[in-house]
């Protein structure tokens, strides 16, 4: 238990990791959100927001307040909490922005409780942030942001999250174009059913993804990111998607698709040199085709997840 103040960083995530729609996600090093929290003599939650990007509407960022309040309601710790969200991540990005805010908040509040819960037991609170943000519960961002690594949501009812074995050699190139796609909108275009042939292809790819992560096999992971369920209907929400993917593959990527519900895209590389070349090609293509500036992040899998950076 920490009685004074605490600062927590929660990282961005690649939801779905391509073929693992709603069931596989990985944490990356940056960007991420930061929460600073401390105990207060005044009961209840005192929430404030510091926004570093013009693109972040403050009203979408209070998932952190929501999940913190849920924890206070359940645990009634006998003191209040001052909580400030330093919103570093863009919303509607496909980088798990709402999950990072929720995760940073639950980890911070937890550390201030007289009897903190285990990390994994915080997931159910973080998921309420996802419900608030997108209207549905999906754990493929919150689980890796909270727990680090590559996480598999084997089941939602009951919730069963499995840390996948990872040989952490692959480089993940994440490109965030300055476009916004709301997860809620990207979920509304999904098909209600999946043809059997697509399902067979998809679960072959999910198995390939799991095996490729364990082996650190960039080629296997790259080809297993193929997503025949969500990507076909979501690609049209991201201006330049096909051209950017072609550019990534041309530059040497082993695979490239949407990160989460987009518009961010990720590509798979086996060396830093190749990753940099792929990132440059993807950024240039977003600028040319979609007239969109873009940020690039190159990372191995972040095995730590949310981190207490000061206490
Ligand atoms: N699995 C979620 C989706 C991730 O694809 O809708 C959202 O970032």
**Cα 228–Cα 232–Cα 234 angle in degrees, nearest 5:** 125
Q: In this structure, are residues 145 and 12 in contact, taking their beta carbons and an 8 Å threshold?
A: yes
The rounded distance, in Å, linking the Cα atoms of 219 and 256 is 12
| Alpha carbon of 140 to ligand 1 centroid (Å) | 7
Q: Is the CB of 130 under 6 A from ligand 1?
A: no
State the chain's mean pLDDT as an integer: 95
5-164 and 171-299 agree in CATH topology:
no
| Alpha carbon of 221 to ligand 1 centroid (Å) | 19
In this predicted structure, the answer to whether residue 58 has a pLDDT above a threshold of 60 is no
The rounded distance, in Å, linking the Cα atoms of 58 and 35 is 15
C-alpha distances (whole Å) from 18 to each of 5, 10, 93 are 38, 22, 16
**Which of 90, 140, 176, when mutated, tests ligand 1's pocket best, judged by the most ligand atoms within 8 Å of its CB?**
140
Q: How many residues does the chain have?
A: 311
The rounded distance, in Å, linking the Cα atoms of 46 and 52 is 20
| Alpha carbon of 270 to ligand 1 centroid (Å) | 25
Q: Which atom of ligand 1 is nearest to the CA of 187?
A: 6
183 labelled catalytic: yes
Q: Is the CB of 144 under 6 A from ligand 1?
A: no
**Averaged pLDDT, 131-149:** 95
Q: Is the CB of 98 under 6 A from ligand 1?
A: no
| Alpha carbon of 124 to ligand 1 centroid (Å) | 17
pLDDT of residue 74: 97
Cis peptide before 286, with omega less than 30 degrees from 0? no
The SS3 call for residue 21 is: coil
Q: Which atom of ligand 1 is nearest to the CA of 94?
A: 8
In the chain, the N- to C-terminal Cα span, in Å, equals 10
pLDDT of residue 134: 86
| Alpha carbon of 113 to ligand 1 centroid (Å) | 31
pLDDT of residue 311: 87
Question: Yes or no: is domain 171-299 CATH 3.30.70.890?
Answer: yes
Q: For the chain, give every domain's residue range.
A: 5-164, 171-299
Q: Find the helix or strand (DSSP H, E) in which 25 lies.
A: strand 24-40
Assign domain 5-164 one CATH number from 3.40.50.20, 3.30.750.24, 3.30.230.10, 3.90.76.10.
3.30.230.10
pLDDT in tens, 4-33: 799 999 999 999 999 999 999 999 999 999
For the residues of 225-238, what is the DSSP string, one character each? T--SSSHHHHGGGS
pLDDT of residue 91: 86
pLDDT in tens, 193-251: 999 999 999 999 999 999 999 999 999 999 999 999 999 999 999 999 999 999 999 99
Q: In this structure, are residues 107 and 85 in contact, taking their beta carbons and an 8 Å threshold?
A: no
**Averaged pLDDT, 262-286:** 98
Q: Which atom of ligand 1 is nearest to the CA of 16?
A: 1
Under the banding of pLDDT at 50, 70 and 90, the label for residue 184 is confident
- 3-state DSSP: the chain helix, strand, coil percent, rounded to 5? 40, 25, 35
pLDDT in tens, 239-255: 999 999 999 999 999 99
Catalytic option among 7, 13, 84, 183 = 183
Q: What are phi and psi of 13, to 5 degrees?
A: -140, 155
226 labelled catalytic: no
* Residue 219: count of CB within 10 angstroms of its CB: 14
pLDDT in tens, 73-112: 999 999 999 999 999 998 889 999 999 999 999 999 999 9
């Amino acid at each position: 238990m920490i009685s004074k103040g605490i600062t927590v960083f929660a990282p961005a995530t690649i939801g779905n990791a391509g073929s693992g729609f709603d069931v596989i996600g990985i944490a990356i090093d940056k960007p991420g959100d930061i929460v600073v929290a401390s105990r207060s003599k005044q009961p209840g939650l005192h929430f404030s927001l510091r926004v570093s990007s013009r693109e972040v509407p403050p009203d979408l960022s209070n998932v952190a307040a929501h999940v913190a309040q849920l924890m206070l309601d359940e645990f009634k710790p006998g003191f209040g909490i001052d909580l400030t969200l330093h919103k570093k991540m863009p919303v509607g990005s496909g980088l798990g922005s709402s999950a990072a805010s929720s995760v940073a908040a639950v980890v911070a509040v937890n550390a201030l409780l007289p009897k903190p819960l285990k990390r994994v037991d915080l997931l159910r609170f973080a998921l309420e942030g996802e419900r608030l943000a997108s209207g549905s519960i999906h754990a493929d961002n919150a689980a890796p942001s909270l727990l680090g690594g590559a996480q598999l949501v084997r089941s939602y009812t009951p919730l069963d999250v499995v840390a996948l074995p990872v040989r952490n050699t692959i480089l993940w190139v994440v490109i965030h174009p300055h476009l916004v796609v709301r997860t809620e909108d990207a979920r509304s275009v999904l098909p209600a059913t999946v043809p059997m042939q697509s399902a067979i292809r998809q679960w072959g790819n999910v198995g390939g993804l799991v095996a490729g992560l364990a082996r650190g096999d960039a080629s296997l992971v790259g080809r297993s990111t193929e997503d025949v369920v969500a990507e076909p209907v979501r690609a049209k929400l991201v201006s330049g998607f096909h051209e950017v993917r072609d550019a990534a593959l041309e530059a040497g990527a082993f695979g490239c698709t949407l990160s989460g519900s987009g518009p961010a895209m990720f590509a798979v590389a086996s060396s830093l040199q190749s990753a940099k070349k792929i990132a440059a090609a993807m950024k240039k293509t977003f600028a040319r085709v979609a007239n969109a500036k873009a940020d690039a992040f190159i990372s191995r899998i972040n095995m730590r997840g949310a981190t207490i950076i000061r206490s």
